[in-house]
Structure 1
Amino acid sequence: MRPAAVRAVPPADGLGGAGVQYELKLDGFRCVAFARGDRPPYLQSRSGRDLSGEFPPIAAAVARLPEGLVLDAELVAWRAGRFAFEELLRTRQARAADDTALGLIAFDVLALPGRDVRRLPLADRRRLLLAALADVPPPVQAVLATTDRAEALAWTEQLAGTGVEGLVCKAAGSAYRPRGAGQVWVKYRRSDTVDATVRALVGAAARPRALVLELDDGRVLLSTPRLTAVQSRQLAEAAGEFLGPAVRDPEHGSLRPLTAVLRAEVTVTGRPPAATFVRLRGD
């Protein structure tokens, strides 16, 4: 099941009204883990590829689970006090040399030994998941989850520094439907509102379609999505007297660099990061 993106965390009586389970959204590789007894474990990626060879510590941990247990999970890396997605893209030798910790954070159980449980309500599957992993040590563990919306929102603030992306919110009564989640599973990605410097307008000077932004940490991003007509007009008016000669950028086309500092408020989300223009700063 793949959750749909939403801009706000649903209330506890949302998603059908039978209760909502809120889970931490982690930045890693989605993985369905099959414990197969005497046969090697299978770590299935979204594309169906077996990840076992790339992540031996996780494969070894899944091999120790009861035969027939199937977990839907996120394969994550942890380094220097935070989740580090980029470590998953390195070779296993490089991760081992840097003592990168790996984890398999399970958020659902699809099968128990001899029993397919996908049709059970999520609340029941959660209880079965916790029971199945009760005596299992790291690196396999259950995701942090709650039915208390306020508690979940507090987690996103308290754990933002560790790289937690946001929340996945699921109808407590939902069965597991492999071909889609509809609106019974949704994901809320926490965004950071930050200040940035507008370095250039993209497109026509009188009607820019985007901005080249420099964040205070030095990152340079192109604003997305396309500016609205109102935003475009406001930016053209504010930047008008500060526009330098047009230059041609091989990726973004015509740019008009600014010759003075123009500050903006933007929200930064996702991986790779994307910046959405909110407003010009009054100062």
Structure 2
Amino acid sequence: MHLSPPVEPMLARSVTALPSSGARPVLFEQKADGFRALVFTGPKPYLQSRRGADLGPAFPEITRAAAALGVEAVVDAELVVWHNGRLDFTALQHRARLRGARAEHAAREQPAHLITFDLLELSGTVLMDQPLHQRRSALENLFASLGLAAPWALCPQTADAATARTWLDPAWGAAGVEGLIVKESGSRYRPGERGWLKLRTRMSAEGIIGAVTGSVHAPRGLLLGRLDAAGRLRLVARSTPLSRTATAELGAVLRPAGAEHPWWGRKFSAGWGTKELLTFQPVVPDLVAEVDTDTALDLGRHRHPVRYLRLRDDMAACDVRE
């Protein structure tokens, strides 16, 4: 039996804390900031996205590596681009849009890598019903026997919770490690199920409140900015829905802004990857908010909504810069 694309990848559900130690042993893996990819190696290589699309034309160097592996296998991995000392999600997105000669040029200038963490099939044997620790052992043996090097990489994994906690340090986040994936050591691979846990690295940050959704005196959410090198207010984040307490607190101090506002007449998308436009009300950008966020940044912009914590009365807007 052989697996054929598309294969639904096993998924993870988000949690806010590491699970308490239980009867079932768990393994911790680093969560890299990239694209999920299933790699079918051998004479008919295929690079499948999480949603089943063919990523091969955009990443020809990965397709060639899959063809040259020397064994037929199906590997679960994170597709990443390393640039300027960190995993660069923006560069990865740019590469995903390229084809032909432009894709080949990008492959030379900003080559992609595969951070592999699971082995679903090897030499015609489907491994998905085997426990995770056996699949991991088979993956490590594959790396050792073939002497795999770039673009192949083995995802760091540990059974030690103390070591895993060190991977939640924001310093790892600055390098592009978003957090942890937690998996039961004895679990089988269940396509499409959220059987793993995902814990993102958290940190606090500041932003200038530049606009709100809802009304100025009863805001539902915040649009936050920072000043760029030229002193212009640039949108960097939007918040999750505000609590009733935060709505009351902010509604009492925010002031509506007019055409002098730098975002007056601007259009912002309603969310990541959508063309729907956001309806917002500009406010006088003189208040600074502290927010809770993860480490997923694209050119200084927070990819996921941030959570409002409090006003920073001790900070002026001019202090909040990129």
- Deviations along 1:76-106, whole A, 9 cap, x unmatched? 1111111112222333245246x21311111
Determine the C-alpha separation between the residues in 2 that align with 1:190 and 1:4.
15
Q: Of 136, 151, 154, which residue of structure 2 is paired with 1:139?
A: 151
Report the CA distance shift for 1:138/1:249 in structure 2 as closer, same or farther (over 3 A).
closer
Higher alpha-carbon deviation: 216-225 or 82-91: 216-225
Q: Give runs of aligned pairs for residues 1-283 of structure 1, distance below 5 A.
A: 1-11=10-20, 13-14=21-22, 17-36=23-42, 39-88=43-92, 89-90=94-95, 91=98, 92-96=103-107, 99-134=109-144, 135-157=147-169, 158-182=171-195, 185-215=196-226, 219-221=234-236, 223-239=238-254, 242-244=255-257, 251-253=277-279, 255-258=281-284, 261-269=286-294, 270=296, 272-283=303-314
**What is the CA-CA distance between 1:231 and the residue it aligns to?**
0.8
Q: Is the 8 A contact 2:210 2:225 kept in 1?
A: yes
- In 2, the alpha carbon distance for the partners of 1:52 and 1:212 equals 37
The number of residues matched between the two structures is: 272
**Inter-CA distance 59–249: structure 2 relative to 1 (3 Å threshold):** closer
Amino acid corresponding to residue 213 of structure 1 in structure 2: L
Once the two structures are superposed, what CA deviation does each residue of 1:224-282 show, in whole Å capped at 9, x if it has no partner? 3211111100111233xx444597876443515126x2121112334624322111124
**2:123 maps to amino acid:** P
Mind listing any 5+ residue stretches in structure 1 that lack a counterpart?
Answer: none
AA matched with 2:17: A
Distance 2:200 2:227 in 1: 22
> Separation in 1 of the partners of 2:24 and 2:121?
23
Q: RMSD of the alignment, in Å? A: 2.4
The 3 A distance-change label for structure 1 pair 60 and 244 is closer
SS at 1:187 equivalent? strand
Q: Which runs of 5+ in 2 are unaligned?
A: 1-9, 268-276, 298-302, 315-322
Q: 1:245 & 1:79 partners in 2: Cα distance?
A: 41
The one-letter code sitting in structure 2 at the alignment partner of 1:23 is: E
TM-score (norm: length of structure 2): 0.76
Q: Scaled by the length of structure 1, what TM-score is found?
A: 0.86
